[in-house]
Amino acid sequence: MRILIAATAAGLSFAASAAGVQSVSRLAAGPGNVLFIADWKTARVHALTLPNAPQKPAGTAFNILDLEPLLSKQVGGKKFTVEDMVARPGTGEVYIALSHGAAKTPALVVVTSDRKTRRIDLKSAKTTSIALRDAPTTGYRFWKDTPERSYTVTDMKYRDGALYVAGLSNQEFASTLRRARYPFDAQQSVTSVEIYHTGHNLIETRAPIRAMSFASWGGKPYLVAAYTCTPIVTIPLEDLKDGAHIRGKTIAELGYGNTPAGMIAYTKTEQGKTQEYLMLLNFERGASAIPVSQVEAASVRPGIETLVPFGQITGLEATSVPLAGTMRLDNLDDQSFIVLRRRLEKDALQLVTISKELSFRLTDFISEYAFQEYGFKGDPFQLKNIKPRQDMMLTHEGFADQIKPAQ
């Protein structure tokens, strides 16, 4: 078995230079004006310092229902693939990473709610960067198409002075969590992670974390991770030590035949009480809203170590959220998510805000309420519970002129 070696200043490369980004797999918002960019071709993470931007109050609404031509214009009309999206906290700016053309050239485009787009020059932008140790080096392609090396970074999050990077290494236990302090220095740790996969009935050491976030309970911080097909795992941050091989605790199974697309932490107020949640976004399923209190309760129980039959959900009582077609999701502000989605009925790429309270857009649906003849005619339940929420959504979605009077 190959052993992960400790980092030294000689073995760890970090530098300040023009970025020269050759690829983008994931983005992450950092402290202040910093945006992290994962470049799998060079096995580096770049920290790009963005120019100052004015702060925008909560309530900014995005209603860009035809995003594709706006992005295509920024890459010379070429066909493109969306790689990732993040919101820049407090500014109302959304950053979308693309690859375009036959060479899969990377591009980073800033989008604002007024439909303005701007491309950042990734060749000349000044960054600091860090080389990711033990990156995959084989030429293997999954299903003859996707380079194994492109999974060097599968998710990336910043927390309390450190960047956490999930992905693959070239080691025997390939599923890896890297941690690097920021500003970058020589203190990079590499930890290999195994889990029990509830649907496969296997101890797995290769397939990486696909989505992750953080939560705390009992006075300790944890990483909460989702894997393909979809076991949920918790890992104490204190276990992430350089050279260690650890086993995450499998606490739930949320469905087979699925790839997690992202996970974010958020809060929302229900009946006057603010609660912490994780939103797990999926490619082959909708999304799941998971109360952190449930994750805590599941994590203190023994881990799941037996086969869970296909189709059975166990360990968490997550709420199914109607976000089918969503490719990426982030917190825009305290009130709203920003959602990059492929609207399936319209076959349109869209960038829209969605309220955290209900997690859907009223104008996506033709329901009883949408008919011209429908009116709120003194029904106390409708007037108290439905109409105020509809009025809020119609305003945010650009249809304030269709708010119906109470009757």
152 and 34 within one domain? yes
Per-residue DSSP letter, 53: -
pLDDT reported for residue 132: 97
Could you tell me if 201 and 317 lie in one domain? yes
Residues 242, 108 within the same domain: yes
Residue 122 inside a domain? The answer is: yes
Q: Are residues 25 and 172 in the same domain?
A: yes
Is residue 7 assigned to a domain? no
Tell me, yes or no, whether 360 lies in a domain: no
Cβ count near 43 (within 10 Å): 23
- pTM here? 0.94
Are residues 143 and 118 both part of a single domain? yes
At residue 186 the predicted structure's pLDDT band, cuts being 50, 70 and 90, is confident
Q: Does residue 348 have a pLDDT over 60?
A: yes
Model pLDDT, residue 10: 34
Structure confidence at residue 124 (pLDDT): 83
Residue 1 lies in a domain: no
378 domain-assigned? yes
Residues 192 and 67 in one domain: yes
The tally of domains found in the chain comes to: 2
The 3-state secondary structure of 235-302, one letter per residue: EEHHHCCCCCEEECEEEEECCCCCCEEEEEEEEEEECCEEEEEEEEEECCCCEEEEEHHHHHHHHHCC
Domain that holds residue 109: 14-355
Whether residue 393 sits in one domain with residue 283: no
Residue range 84-111: average pLDDT? 96
Average pLDDT score over the chain? 93
Same domain, 119 and 258: yes
Q: What is the mean pLDDT of residues 22-50?
A: 96
Same domain, 327 and 200: yes
Read off the pLDDT of residues 319-339 as tens digits, 9 standing for 90 and up: 999 999 999 999 999 999 999
β-bridge pairing 105-111 and 93-100? antiparallel
Which spans in 176-222 are helix H? none
Q: Are residues 342 and 383 in the same domain?
A: no
